[in-house]
Amino acid sequence: MILDREHIAETYKQIQDEITKGLEILDGKATFDEEIWQREGGGGGRTRIIQQGSVIEKGGVNFSAVHGKLPETIKKAFGVDEDDFFATGVSIVIHPQNPWVPIIHMNIRYFELNENMRWFGGGIDLTPHYVIEEDARFFHQMMKNVCDKHDPKFYTQFKTWADQYFYIKHRQETRGIGGIFYDKLTKEKTGHSELELFNFSCDLGRTFVPTYTELANRNRDKKFSDREKQWQLLRRGRYVEFNLVYDSGTRFGLETNGRIESILMSLPAQANWAYDFKPESGSLEENTLNLLKKDINWAL
């Protein structure tokens, strides 16, 4: 099989369809609104947004396939002279209604500059407002399962990568409990063919719905007070800080003249910031902060 950009993009579009259908079934109330857009520099995408559902307060499942000229800043970052690029992928962020249901993010993507510079990137990570250790172990086991199917080294490598990447340096805490993250995977770096790396990215994408459905259904009916809701808004604030300060996908989208509404769909509808907030000693909030650390072995 010859793996080309058109096949990759078409398969990612199918995965977007599968995920939006699965999330609508999970929510049971809200449905996705779709906007088809074109990028001025070349290509376009499908932005799908779901809001005010029974489970999902705000979420997006976006597909894009764009091409054009790389700006000088990106060329310098990549260390290349050529500037004709192609990039396609699916990006997801879900912000739930209930504070006991976690935020989740997924991205699978393919980038091509020339025959010698083509790579895959992506990952899934979980950001609970309250860390529930049983749920954390389940989530990481699901990530390990999909990694082990393709390479027994992947989970450890990509979990470490996620711990390093999703770290809010100015807060000295991780954004959540991590997951897996990888970037610029090539045959030379991994020993796996492009087709094998593509198949891994597709399997990862198709792990999203069963993983999040299980986590959401475990917690969607739990009662919560204003205290838990206010904590949820504070944790969303941390999520915003990471995405606007550190996230490479946000920077790439902005610097390549991406569609602003699609890029910033990752931000929640509401978030709070409190001055010098300190959780009560022995509280669930303090316990969560104590678990926002690198290198915790969550897998069973």
For residue 53, being part of any structural domain is answered with: yes
**Where does the pLDDT of residue 1 fall: very low under 50, low under 70, confident under 90, or very high at 90 and above?**
low
Q: Is the pLDDT of residue 82 over 70?
A: no
Mapped onto helix, strand or coil, the DSSP state of residue 113 is: strand
Q: Which entry of 105, 129, 140, 150 is annotated as an active-site residue?
A: 105
Active site residue 129: no
Buried b (16+ CB within 10 A) or exposed e, 227-265: ebeebbbbbbbbbebbbeebbebbbbbeebebbeebbbb
Cα 45 to Cα 38, 65, 88, 240: the distances in Å are 7, 6, 9, 24
In a domain, 299, yes or no: no
d(CA 264, CA 208): 21
| Domain-located, residue 295 | no
Residue 34, pLDDT > 70, answer yes
pLDDT band at 141 (very low <50, low <70, confident <90, very high): very high
227: in domain: yes
CATH number of the domain that residue 125 is part of: 3.40.1500.10
Bridge partners (DSSP) of residue 274 are none
pLDDT tens digits for 208-248?
999 999 999 999 999 999 999 999 999 999 999 999 999 98
Give the pLDDT confidence of 179-207 residue by residue, as tens digits: 999 999 999 999 999 999 999 999 999 99
In the predicted structure, residue 257 carries a pLDDT above the cut 80: no
**Residue 169 within any structural domain of the chain:** yes
Instruction: Kindly state whether residue 297 falls inside one of the protein's structural domains.
Output: no
Q: Is the residue at 298 inside a domain? A: no
Range of the domain at 215: 5-290
Domains identified in the chain, total number: 1
Q: How many CB atoms lie within 10 A of CB 76?
A: 10
- Asked if residue 256 is part of any domain, the answer here is yes
